[in-house]
Amino acid sequence: MGTILLYAPVREHGFSMFDDREYVVDNLNVQAGWTGESVRWAFTSAHASNWHPLTWLSHMLDVELFGDWAGGHHWTSVVLHGLNAVLLFTFLCTLSRAAGPSILAAALFAFHPIRVESVAWIAERKDVLSGLFFFLTLLAYAAYSRRGGLVFYLLTLLAFLAGLGAKPMLVTVPFLLLLLDVGMREKRGRSWKVLVLEKLPMLGFAAGMIGVTLRAQAAGGAINATGAFPLVERLANVPTAYLAYVGKFLLPVRLAAYYPHPALTDPEGLGTRLLLGSLGLVAIALVSWGAWRVRRRQAHLFVGWFWFLGMLVPVIGFVQAGAQQYADRYQYLPGIGLILALVWGTWEALTGARQRNLWGLAGVLVLILLAVQTSRQIRFWKSDRLLFEHALEVTNGNFAAHNNVGVYFNEQGDYAQAIPHFEAALALHPNYTNALVNLGRARLQTGDLARAEALFRRCIEAEPLEALGHFNLGLVHSRRGEDAQAEAAYGRAIEVDPSYASSYVNRSVSLARLGELDRAIDVLLALLRVVPGSIAGQRNLGLLYAERGDDEQAVVHLRGVLSAEAEIADRVNAMNGLAWVLATSPEAGLRDGREALRLAAEASALTNHTRPEILSTWAAAHAEVGEFDQAVEKEQRARELSAPEERPKHDRRLELYRAGRPLRR
């Protein structure tokens, strides 16, 4: 309950641009909820550089329950975190039979500020969800260790598999179970051979998950194994990151959503980083040696320290994923090891009841301080601007934070404030593709096409396999009316990223302008094979079929848009297109003037009767049902709102309606 109350403010938080869109808001498969197609996608997709089907299913369930209310999505993560704290307490009581330190350890886990990132960030659902299955794995294994039996063994294996399906970081769990066997004397007479053999199926699943994850992250461009992060840089950072995690655990201040890797912000400082890394390695070795020496007297300290070291291995930077030096979210489960070491290390060192009572009082005071700091940290996650302006305050050289603050202002249309942040990001990291693209988009919006093109070409030079650069270069060509060059740029973006839906849509528009309707339709059909739920693909395909004269197919696709939960702009365009076909089709069996009249009237009302093409459709619908006076009235209004070059078209339609004749294409 304390966890729920502490995190209650997140119900007022929205979705973050920081991956929440890719995971939920703009993810058509997630937005579809639990359908056969979306469930299939969850298990077969490596979207967002990861394979975690259960995480996708949890987001889909939230969409089913809460729709686009971000507070509901946040509440799910909070409830999972609270449940995880209860399960941790249960496991520790099972392990030690000591309720006092178990309560304190579970409360430290629940209230520690380092966990805010995992709980208050919707896209990190994978942390709290994998945590649930992690604790269920530990509880099932504890029961198996004490009682034996195939049922508990299979439950352990099943919970572990579910955890891997939520987040691949759990690949270290088989080794953790061996650590518990040795350190906590849970083997109950079983031989080493048996202990190792019973972990082999889990190790096999873990090895398979490692392979799947590496392929997914490499395909998504998340892994930086070379280039900016050569082996020597990664090795230098490993001990530094370990000590940083210990420091953030002991003194959780100056927490940030992003800690930039020094190899990017200070490429000349490798020598200093090697020195600090060497000193850090010595410190870690000394602590590890000490923990090994006291393993019989201080079993929890021994297990806790090596729990922390071992569980962080997948994310410590040997294989660099992303451009961060370390991340608070990576401590969600590994940090429990430090809690064990600290809580039981002190508990076991105390002997008298008075000492332990004072220890308990000190623990309560620490929890209060942590809760206050956690409450403060939660507030930063209320908006992207707060989050990343705070990151700029507490870190140095944070190019990503500058970029994300710039994105916030970009989305507000405040390019004067956005552009300096993008420029600051590029001053710190000249080849940062996100900043190159975002600055280019800001220049594009302000009409500076030359500088926008130069930025997008820089992006392509820095990352030839970055689809964003090619796509945005296509936008520049489109803005200039260079449709052939735009079509080629969008085509290249599709080659680089076959799932980039906007590239297909824009490419089809360019092809249509070039008069290549058949190719434009083929492009959109390809899009719907890749992203079956694409509203923009359905909409444009219906409009293109109508333009080509294939009215039957046009009606099918435009009705498909209207039957889906499409945005208002997409619905308006689909209503107008469908009304146009129903009012003007040469096929009598397809015409339905009354439905066309209803659709056109609704579309025009949604646009405050300001779009001439919709008013013209409305006029055609009136003519189809024989209301020619109203048709003339609407067409005249459309003519008044049209550009001069469009007026002859309206004049021809007015002539038809005044003669009492409906429009036929």
pLDDT tens digits, one per residue of 518-575: 999 999 999 999 888 788 899 999 999 988 989 999 899 989 888 877 778 888 999 9
Residues in a beta bridge with 321: 223
Number of H helices, E strands in the chain: 35, 2
CA distances from 234 to 85, 211, 318 (A): 33, 20, 6
Model confidence at 217, pLDDT cuts 50, 70, 90, reads low
**SS3 per residue for 207-268:** HHHHHHHHHHHHHCCCECCCCCCCHHHHHHHHHHHHHHHHHHHHCCCCCCCCEECHHHHCCC
Q: If we measure between CA atoms, which residue out of 8, 38, 11 comes closest to residue 24?
A: 38
CA distances from 532 to 127, 292, 423, 441, 536 (A): 29, 56, 38, 28, 11
Q: Among 17-26, 55-64, 171-180, 388-397, name the one with the lowest average pLDDT.
A: 17-26
pLDDT tens digits, one per residue of 164-202: 999 999 999 999 999 998 876 655 567 778 888 899 999
Task: Calculate the average pLDDT of the chain.
Answer: 91
Q: How far apart are CA 254 and CA 287, in angstroms?
A: 25
The answer for residues whose C-beta is within 8 angstroms of residue 550's C-beta and 6 or more apart is none
Are 406 and 386 a contacting pair, CB within 8 Å? no
Are 623 and 662 a contacting pair, CB within 8 Å? yes
Q: 41 pLDDT exceeds 90? A: no
pLDDT tens digits, one per residue of 368-419: 999 999 999 999 999 999 999 999 999 999 999 999 999 999 999 999 999 9
CA distances from 567 to 74, 444, 573, 613 (A): 23, 24, 10, 19
Q: How far apart are CA 564 and CA 72, in angstroms?
A: 22
Q: How far apart are CA 410 and CA 398, in angstroms?
A: 18
pLDDT at 405: 97
Span 449-465, mean pLDDT?
93
Q: Please count the other Cβ atoms lying within 10 Å of the Cβ belonging to residue 91.
A: 22
At 439 the three-state DSSP class reads helix
CA distances from 491 to 327, 508, 519, 525, 534 (A): 36, 10, 12, 15, 18
pLDDT at 229: 75
Across 2-85, where does the E strand assignment appear? none
> What is the CA angle 578-535-59, rounded to 5?
145
pLDDT at 218: 62
Q: If we measure between CA atoms, which residue out of 131, 40, 30 comes closest to residue 79?
A: 131
Q: How far apart are CA 87 and CA 82, in angstroms?
A: 9
Q: If we measure between CA atoms, which residue out of 126, 123, 118 comes closest to residue 25?
A: 123
Q: How far apart are CA 564 and CA 559, in angstroms?
A: 9
| Full-model pTM | 0.85
pLDDT tens digits, one per residue of 605-658: 998 999 999 999 999 999 999 999 999 999 999 999 999 888 999 999 999 999
Q: How far apart are CA 397 and CA 267, in angstroms?
A: 12
Q: Which residue has the higher pLDDT, 214 or 340?
A: 340
Q: Which residue has the higher pLDDT, 543 or 213?
A: 543
Span 24-41, mean pLDDT?
87
Positive or negative torsion for Cα 487, 490, 492, 498: negative
Model confidence at 517, pLDDT cuts 50, 70, 90, reads very high
The answer for residues whose C-beta is within 8 angstroms of residue 80's C-beta and 6 or more apart is 125, 128, 129, 131, 132
Give percent of the chain with pLDDT exceeding 70. 97
Q: How far apart are CA 625 and CA 655, in angstroms?
A: 17
Which tokens sit at 265? 């912000």
